[in-house]
Amino acid sequence: MISLPTPPSRAPRRHRPSTVQRALTTSAAAAALAAVPGAPAVAGLPLHAAAPAVATPRVVPAPASLRALSGVSFTLTRRTRIVVRPGADRAGTYLAAILRRSTGYPLPISRTGGTAGAIALSLTGGGGGEAYRLSVRRDAVRLSSGTPTGLFRGLQTLRQLLPPAVESATVRPGPWSVPGVEVDDAPRFAWRGTMLDVARHFFTVAQVKRYIDTAALYKINVLHLHLSDDQGWRIAIPGWPRLASYGGSTAVGGGPGGHYTERDFAEIVRYAAQHYMTVVPEIDGPGHTNAALASYAKLNCDGHAPPLYTGTDVGFSSLCIGKPVTYEFLDAVLGRLAKLTPGPYLHIGGDEAMSTKPADYAEYLRRVAAIVRRHGKTLSGWADIGAATVPRGSIAQYWQPAKGSEKGTETARAAVRKGARLVMSPADHAYLDMKYTASTPLGQDWAGLVEVRDAYAWDPGTLLDGVTDKDVAGVEAPLWTETIVTDRNIDYMTLPRLPAVAEIGWTPQTGRSWNDFRVRLAAQGPRWTALGRAFYRSPQVPWPAR
């Protein structure tokens, strides 16, 4: 554990009662209920059948529709094949890699042959986008989708239907049974993101990949990388070498920092794409820019470079709005990132510009929006941008606590009026760096304490007055890393809250309830252990005995 100076407090800590639980109304909820021990069996089937040899389906995020087939299961054996129809090869390879590792079975992939006894993956209809259908019967597992993305999402459901030991990196004994189900699934929101702050502390390519692995299991599809801040600049930019070599040379607490070369960054983008995740790179400005200002004296209005900064204050730095070199710098940086990033978005930050005059902030936004457009990308920024230029179709990321930040809510509404859609990251629900309880050793508490239930029990479509589902692109859980240094630190703060936010983004609101979620979440614990993930054993969750 590291010890840090107490970060500046932004708002008094509030303990809020959790949102009222919603009624279980969908087939998803009903199926999940049937999965709870002691709940009635599926209609028409005997209540006291032989003791089930397979686990009940406990999937996170809850599928839009899941029907458990009582008494039915598929068992993976040494002879099981993976049959891939045209276009499903990648999905087959991905699944085989996971299953071979822990089962030790050969699991050959074949493009021909029938589905009997097989896991069959096909790209046949099943709707567009990320929708998929999964049928587990005694004779076969059949997964289909209109897209490879949907197949990949469906494979995450299949993983969670297998015993937790399937996630083990070494061969385990089995048996490998999958409960019979009919799943018909599609996400509520298109943007289901997580942000990793690689600026306050640097995380290597291997660490980012490990984070992608965790997030992919919960159908997260956006990886937002916070690449620059006061404490560090993390990406090499041609023509501006000191940004990375000097601006990237330290971190909060004075550690060695680090940065990504273009190859490193390309490798992250490639790995994310393999997991059907879009990378959204963020270069924060005009505030949160001390690392850049320290690297180049000419970026400062007075021509003097400040020293590198390793503390945790915010709001003290600003780019020089009136200098042409500021926009040469932004053009070089955003132009490079536009080239390196296949996704449509460039995130320009824009938060907490407390050292920039409002008129200067507006001028900055106008200029930066033009640069983003010139490089063919869509602008994304923290919702503070609502006070300035927001091109139609932009993404504004709401970050302030849901309650008690009228100004933040108003700028978010202004962004919507200007034609942006919101990504919802309310700090008192979605911030993965908030402490769970007063005694959580890591994290901050300026937005309050965020237990698992607080992370789960909110609805992005009703959280802010005047903002409804159609204004919302989705949700994102940011992990700021002032106090986060190691993989274990990352695991502890993200698990179990990232799956909670992932379910908010995926599952229809009518299919969600805290009491149902906590039971399904509990079933993830042994999976995390098998995956080598440390997690917070929240007392709100009925974890199985160790």
Smallest distance from ligand TNX to CB 216, Å: 24
Q: Could you say which residues in the range 270-299 bind ligand TNX, by CB under 6 A?
A: none
Q: Which is nearer to ligand TNX, 157 or 444 (CB)?
A: 444
Smallest distance from ligand TNX to CB 446, Å: 6
C-beta of residue 481 within 8 angstroms of C-beta of residue 493: no
**Whole-number Å distance between alpha carbons of 265 and 282:** 13
Q: Which of 352, 360, 363, 410 binds ligand TNX (CB under 6 A)?
A: 352
Q: Which is nearer to ligand TNX, 121 or 368 (CB)?
A: 368
Say which residues have a Cβ less than 8 Å from residue 116's Cβ, sequence separation at least 6: 139, 140
C-beta of residue 172 within 8 angstroms of C-beta of residue 103: yes
Smallest distance from ligand TNX to CB 197, Å: 6
**Whole-number Å distance between alpha carbons of 382 and 197:** 14
**Whole-number Å distance between alpha carbons of 270 and 469:** 31
Nearest Cα neighbor of 422 from 470, 377, 375, 465 is 470
Q: Residue 137, by phi and psi: left (phi above 0), alpha (psi -120 to 50) or beta?
A: beta
Binding-site residue total for ligand TNX (CB under 6 A)? Answer: 10
Smallest distance from ligand TNX to CB 196, Å: 12
Smallest distance from ligand TNX to CB 11, Å: 11
**Whole-number Å distance between alpha carbons of 516 and 33:** 7
Smallest distance from ligand TNX to CB 523, Å: 30
Q: Is 382 in the site for ligand TNX (CB under 6 A)?
A: yes
Q: Could you say which residues in the range 429-468 bind ligand TNX, by CB under 6 A?
A: 431, 433, 444
Q: Which is nearer to ligand TNX, 157 or 483 (CB)?
A: 483
Catalytic: which of 267, 328, 352, 410?
352
Q: Which is nearer to ligand TNX, 313 or 469 (CB)?
A: 313
Q: Could you say which residues in the range 403-432 bind ligand TNX, by CB under 6 A?
A: 431
Q: Could you say which residues in the range 466-505 bind ligand TNX, by CB under 6 A?
A: 480, 482
Q: Which is nearer to ligand TNX, 275 or 435 (CB)?
A: 435
Q: Which is nearer to ligand TNX, 314 or 495 (CB)?
A: 314
Smallest distance from ligand TNX to CB 162, Å: 36
C-beta of residue 513 within 8 angstroms of C-beta of residue 35: no
Q: Which of 74, 271, 329, 399 binds ligand TNX (CB under 6 A)?
A: 399
Q: Which is nearer to ligand TNX, 314 or 452 (CB)?
A: 314
CA 31 to chain centre: 26
Q: Which tokens go with 276?
A: 């059907």
Q: Which is nearer to ligand TNX, 264 or 352 (CB)?
A: 352
Q: Could you say which residues in the range 142-201 bind ligand TNX, by CB under 6 A?
A: none
H helices of 35-88, in order, are: none
Q: Is 193 helix (H, G, I), strand (E, B) or coil?
A: strand
Give per-residue burial for 2-33: e unless 16+ CB within 10 Å, then b: eeeeebeebbeeeebeebeebebebebbbbbb
- Pairing status of strand 132-136 against strand 176-185: antiparallel
Q: Which is nearer to ligand TNX, 57 or 285 (CB)?
A: 285
Smallest distance from ligand TNX to CB 426, Å: 10
Q: Is 314 in the site for ligand TNX (CB under 6 A)?
A: yes
**322 exposure class (CB count in 10 Å sphere: 0-12, 13-18, 19+):** exposed
- Pairing status of strand 472-479 against strand 191-197: parallel
C-beta of residue 157 within 8 angstroms of C-beta of residue 63: yes
Catalytic (active site) residue 352: yes
**Whole-number Å distance between alpha carbons of 31 and 258:** 48
Q: Which of 184, 351, 503, 516 binds ligand TNX (CB under 6 A)?
A: 351
| Dihedral sign of CA atoms 71, 72, 76, 77 in order | positive
Instruction: Give DSSP secondary structure letters for 233-287.
Output: E-B--TT-HHHHHTTTS--GGG-----B-HHHHHHHHHHHHHTT-EEEEEEEESS
**Whole-number Å distance between alpha carbons of 102 and 166:** 5
Q: Is 167 helix (H, G, I), strand (E, B) or coil?
A: helix
Question: What share of residues in the chain are helix, strand, coil (percent, to 5)?
Answer: 35, 20, 50
Smallest distance from ligand TNX to CB 10, Å: 7
Instruction: Give DSSP secondary structure letters for 317-337.
Output: ----TT-HHHHHHHHHHHHHH
Q: Which is nearer to ligand TNX, 335 or 349 (CB)?
A: 349
Q: Which tokens go with 87?
A: 């276009």
Q: Is 311 in the site for ligand TNX (CB under 6 A)?
A: no
Task: Point out the residues that are catalytic.
Answer: 352
Where does this chain bind ligand TNX (CB under 6 A)? 314, 351-352, 382, 399, 431, 433, 444, 480, 482
